Structure 1
């Protein structure tokens, strides 16, 4: 069955919008398929020392090499970055290896802005229905920044810096010499054990079951550097810092990690397997693409579109998203707010998304 688009005028009390629209070219960049990974369950202990020397790590495949955050429209990263994942009843284990001829870091105080150094970042969204997610950053000195986001910044979210990953274990290994500009290093690696108990809420346990999917992504921030009197610093030109590189596992399409709907997926498996996208992905992708196009339309017309034909500038981006979907937009009489429903007729669920980015899935 093809895509059917239905519209209805209803007095929904949703007004305004709080985020800028993407450009059409950015929306095109944001149509890449998210990366997927199968994390194998283990029963043997992992020593967190930055080395990943345990035989259990042999069960874990490497991810694909990291790409630029904007995807293929930008050059491939200069240095290799890749990740492995495992899990047991208590922890999600992450091991990242980053090729680097100059391993350096300066920041030593927890919860400072760690990406002002070269760093490695983990983004985790354990619960499908809730908007909140977690971020962990670490530099080559093993200095941690961890925070919880109630919702993305573009929807009015604000980082809760007082939140900590209680029980987090992390370690760094440097194949070379940290903060020594006189030699050439090979890589630095991060090993983490992220406790599920720290990600749980009062009413929801984060410990996954076999075949559960979580949203997850990884980012590497890389600065150009100078050396003065043996000290590394971020490179400047005309008194301004040169922009950093942002290399990620699953491309976002824009220079902003805080698009959880654009992250990759980890599937918690018992044995190694080839992992595909979850069943809800096609409907979710359709909903967000309509959302992005509505933002673009409102930027120009100061209102949301009444029907999909009005989104003609980017309508072609929707035509091949999926079959067996039925989309309905319920828009208020002021055309200042809407609720979008994308129904998957084959798998019997509905993705619901409004103009404020509130998102949920209703299963029949």
Structure 2
């Protein structure tokens, strides 16, 4: 929630900094596009804002965690029309012609104008830099940033670039080794004097941080949805008059606070809340999931987890129902979880018999 303080005379409007508290977990991160249920239970970042153009219902659900060696990032990016372009494209500068996400990390809060930025599209085509901003927030210079050690995966739910169907979302999962954020590998520019990145972080460490998203609703969309997690009111080009899209502005960064262990890794995997209907149950091999209220036409993604908390299936949930065919799965107890675009969750236990 942003707090706006309005002062009299010529003093400008001030925006409170956004903060995200990232829980430490004891578990290792396994990146395959299918998050553990314990990590999915983490508190998401607050809703994005839309300082450029209008909000047309774009929803971004982002969750983060950390352990002693890595920062974990998982996002569900709801989207009824996926734009992927050429999946074989190799030119990094082409990554912003499709659906896109960008991460910004400023691990030295005493030098906020220096930060790392990772731009990647729905095909994981990536452009990454170490940057320095001017006092206005506009770019001063940037250097290549080698992120070959980052583990990444994308899963799409829908058919990209197809007007004949209605898509649901795309998932992004990644684990970023802290060692990749610990140095300043600039070739053509001098490392900032007094550069002291808090890497690896300790409990209570605070970084500058932001996430921005470009959501294209069709090819050559004249009004792309541009959204951002933290926006402090700064437009770096012509202050107050030019609202051109500019993602890489350290003056808009919020705070990433590295918190203590949350205990999520100690939760029982099958602690479902009920409320989702499954029939028949027990079942073999087909089960039909429905919303408990026939008038409640929730759309979203239904995930199925095994007793160890690993996601084993994901299904688009439309028109109030979906079907899971469990051929090839072992008998046992599973948890089904429906997550809607508004963040609402419905769950139930199901039993597969053989």
Q: Within 2, Cα distance between the matches of 1:60 and 1:39?
A: 9
| Aligned-residue RMSD, C-alpha | 2.7
- Matched with 1:211 is 204
Q: CA deviation at 1:120?
A: 0.9
Considering fraction of residues, name the structure with more helix. Answer: 1
- Of structures 1 and 2, the one scoring higher in RCO (CA 8 A, sep 6+) is 1
Cα distance in structure 1, aligned partners of 2:47 and 2:210: 13
User: Which of 242, 245, 262 is the aligned partner of 2:225?
Assistant: 245
Per-residue deviation at 1:224?
Answer: 4.0
Structure 2: where are the runs of 5+ without partners? 1-8, 185-194, 236-244, 264-354
Q: 1:269 aligns with which of 259, 267, 272?
A: 259
Residue 33 (structure 1) aligned with residue 16 (structure 2): yes
1:81 and 1:99 in contact (8 A); partners too: yes
Q: Which runs of 4+ in 1 moved over 4 A?
A: 24-27, 152-156, 202-205
Report deviation, 1:59: 4.7
Residue 33 of structure 2 aligns to a residue whose secondary structure is coil
1:260 deviation in Å? Answer: 1.3
Task: Evaluate the alpha carbon distance shift between residue 78 and residue 155 of structure 1 in structure 2; reply closer, same or farther with a 3 A threshold.
Answer: closer
Question: Which aligned pairs between 1:279-294 and structure 2 lie closer than 5 A?
Answer: none
1:90 aligns with 2:69: yes
Given candidates 160, 169, 193, the residue that maps to 2:151 is 169
Provide the TM-score with structure 1 as the length reference: 0.57
Distance 1:191 1:214, change over 3 A: same
Contact 1:44/1:56 (8 A) holds in 2? no
CA 1:248–1:155 in 2, change beyond 3 Å: closer, same or farther? closer
2:175 to 193, 198, 219: 193
Within 2, Cα distance between the matches of 1:217 and 1:26?
26
1:118 aligned partner: 99
Deviations 1:47-98 (A, max 9, x none): 212222x13314521111211035xxx6434221121010111111111111
Give the deviation of 1:217 after TM superposition.
0.7
Residue 188 of structure 1: CA displacement? 0.7
In the alignment, what sits opposite 1:234? 220
More strand by share: 2
Gaps of 5+ in 1: 1-23, 226-232, 236-241, 274-364
CA shift in 2, pair 1:69/1:191, >3 Å: farther
TM-superposition CA deviations, 1:8-54 (whole Å, max 9, x none): xxxxxxxxxxxxxxxx99953xx2222211111112122212222x1
